[in-house]
Amino acid sequence: DVKVTQSSRYLVKRTGEKVFLECVQDMDHENMFWYRQDPGLGLRLIYFSYDVKMKEKGDIPEGYSVSREKKERFSLILESASTNQTSMYLCASSRTQGIGNQPQHFGDGTRLSIL
């Protein structure tokens, strides 16, 4: 079974802090994704990566950056955390063969609170 592991289930940080969310997958997937999930807004794509050191903006990249130095690890960075970034963050991975053709597998999520 595919395993996507997010480093923290719950995280509390202060406004202005630099925040790192880590995601690791164990199935050698080429593609990795970061989403946030908010009540009434559903899941929205922040960034995705289709290869090491490659990244693409999703629908809501403002205030975020990402890093993919190794194939199995995809990090989401909040450069200067703000209260409107309080949310549930979900990481996912998938095989390539046409980025849209393979199922995405999700981690358990990180519930981030910015105070």
Partner 1 sequence: KQEVTQIPAALSVPEGENLVLNCSFTDSAIYNLQWFRQDPGKGLTSLLLIQSSQREQTSGRLNASLDKSSGRSTLYIAASQPGDSATYLCAVSDYKLSFGAGTTVTVRA
Task: For the CB of residue 12, give the shortest distance to partner 1 in the complex, in Å.
Answer: 16
Contact residues for partner 1, defined by CB under 8 A: 4, 6, 33, 40, 42-45, 48, 58, 90, 92, 98-101, 103-109, 111
CB nearer partner 1, residue 9 or residue 18: 9
Strand partners, 56: 48
CB nearer partner 1, residue 48 or residue 74: 48
Task: For the CB of residue 80, give the shortest distance to partner 1 in the complex, in Å.
Answer: 26
Task: For the CB of residue 16, give the shortest distance to partner 1 in the complex, in Å.
Answer: 27
Q: What is the DSSP string of 31-94?
A: EEEEEEEETTTEEEEEEEESSTT--EE-S--TTEEEEEEETTEEEEEESS--GGG-EEEEEEEE
Distance CA 16, CA 22 (A): 19
Task: For the CB of residue 28, give the shortest distance to partner 1 in the complex, in Å.
Answer: 18
CB nearer partner 1, residue 75 or residue 93: 93
Q: Please, what's the b/e burial string for 92-105 (b: 16 or more CB within 10 A of its CB; e: otherwise)? A: bbbbeeeeeeeebb
